[in-house]
């Protein structure tokens, strides 16, 4: 079970970054927040490269096909970030992350249609539970106690879950054939290059990025560097766990991320409301708890033999 505790590092660190991202979007990136945060996240991936090279100088000797495939992984990683930032800009972190429970569901659906894999009755029931759980959190109760569908959260998070599940499968296929550090290195090279491309060719993102640096450079840099360190450490632990256990089982540990996010959100709302607040009134809190519980059961059943 060592792989489980290693994989669990990822969801815990991701939960912390979820809240930091939300704080940055609300306090510092009110204009062009998604593009600005995307640039920070992608460009700061370069921080990991010297350390990986120091650990294993042979990482640069990857074959051209491997680099190309890992470039695709890098693109998927950036697409995950784009979708996630859009959703986070419109909703609470504790709501957004619940949709990541759809990752293994997408994994099984892709396996069924592309690889011809057979789905058991338990897996079909489990998938229905996960979808039902996310459906619960897809609605919010407004001030008039009316239900409202969260389209601006649902659509981008469906994309994020699909891209992340696909990325995990591709990364494992390459890392098992090549090398873990080599794969991790070239994935982050690709992310950095994409960040440079966005900075050069998307003027609105570049403008807001430079403006954000001028206005709050120290605070922004500190928070974003902290986020990237936590995120890359989580990625490292998560990716390493892929080599120790089946992708599906590793993805199962993602079911803990919404729990971590909700607990952190409640703690900060009660004790540090000036830093961050979440909706913790009963009518908002119970749907979150029920959705996390239902999707958690569904995710567990999804991987039962």
DSSP 117: P
Beta strands 147-149 and 139-141, pairing class: antiparallel
Determine what percent of the chain is predicted with pLDDT higher than 90: 28
Going by pLDDT thresholds of 50, 70 and 90, the confidence category of residue 255 is: confident
DSSP string spanning 27-95?
Answer: HT-SSSHHHHHHHHHHHGGGGHHHHHHHH-GGGGG--HHHHHHHHHHHHHHHHHHHHHHHHHHHS-HHH
pLDDT score for 222: 82
Report pLDDT digits (tens) over 210-232: 888 777 667 777 887 888 789 87
**Nearest to 81, CA basis, from 120, 33, 132:** 33
Q: Is the pLDDT reported for residue 45 higher than 60?
A: yes
Under a CB-based contact definition with an 8 Å cutoff, are residues 117 and 290 in contact?
no
Please tell me the distance from the alpha carbon of residue 203 to that of residue 223, in angstroms, as a whole number: 24
Report pLDDT digits (tens) over 135-192: 988 887 766 667 778 888 999 999 999 998 888 778 777 766 777 788 889 988 999 9
Q: Which has more confidence, 104 or 23?
A: 23
Environment class of 207 (CB within 10 Å of its CB; exposed 0-12, middle 13-18, buried 19+): middle
Number of folded domains that form the chain: 1
Q: Which domain holds residue 124?
A: 2-302
List, as own/partner pairs, every contact residues 145-148 make where C-beta atoms lie below 8 angstroms and the sequence separation is at least 24, other chains included: 145/283
Q: Is the pLDDT reported for residue 235 higher than 90?
A: no
* Segment among 97-101, 113-117, 242-246 with least mean pLDDT: 113-117
Q: Which has more confidence, 54 or 304?
A: 54
Retrieve residue 265's tokens: 């959100």
Under a CB-based contact definition with an 8 Å cutoff, are residues 209 and 224 in contact?
no
- The mean of the pLDDT values for the chain is 85
pLDDT score for 145: 67
Going by pLDDT thresholds of 50, 70 and 90, the confidence category of residue 2 is: confident
């Amino acid at each position: 079970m060592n792989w489980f505790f290693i994989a669990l590092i990822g969801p815990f660190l991701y939960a912390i970054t979820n809240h930091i991202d939300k704080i940055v979007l609300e306090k510092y990136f009110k204009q062009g927040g998604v593009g600005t945060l995307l640039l920070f996240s992608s460009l700061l991936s370069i921080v990991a490269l010297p350390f990986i090279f120091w650990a294993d100088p042979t990482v640069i000797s990857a074959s051209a096909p491997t680099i190309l495939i890992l470039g695709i992984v890098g693109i998927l990683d950036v697409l995950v970030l784009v979708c996630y930032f859009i959703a986070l800009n419109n909703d609470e972190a504790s709501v957004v992350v619940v949709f990541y429970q759809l990752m293994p569901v997408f994994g099984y659906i892709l396996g069924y249609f592309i690889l011809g894999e057979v789905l058991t009755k338990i897996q079909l029931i489990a998938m229905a539970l996960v979808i039902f759980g996310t459906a619960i959190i897809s609605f919010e109760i407004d001030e008039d106690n009316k239900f409202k569908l969260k389209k601006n959260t649902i659509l981008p998070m469906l994309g994020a879950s699909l891209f992340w599940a696909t990325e995990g499968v591709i990364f494992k296929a390459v890392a098992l054939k090549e090398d873990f550090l080599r794969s991790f290195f070239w994935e982050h090279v690709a992310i950095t290059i994409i960040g440079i491309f966005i900075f050069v060719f998307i003027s609105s993102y570049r403008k807001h990025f430079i403006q954000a640096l001028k206005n709050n450079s120290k605070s922004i840099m500190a928070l974003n560097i902290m986020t990237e360190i936590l995120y890359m450490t989580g990625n490292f632990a998560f990716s390493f766990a892929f080599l120790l256990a089946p992708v599906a089982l590793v993805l199962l540990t993602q079911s803990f991320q919404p729990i971590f996010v909700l607990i952190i959100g409640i703690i900060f709302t009660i004790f540090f409301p000036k830093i961050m607040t979440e909706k913790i009134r009963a009518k908002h809190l119970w749907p979150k708890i029920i959705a996390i519980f239902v999707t958690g059961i569904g995710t567990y059943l999804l991987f039962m033999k």
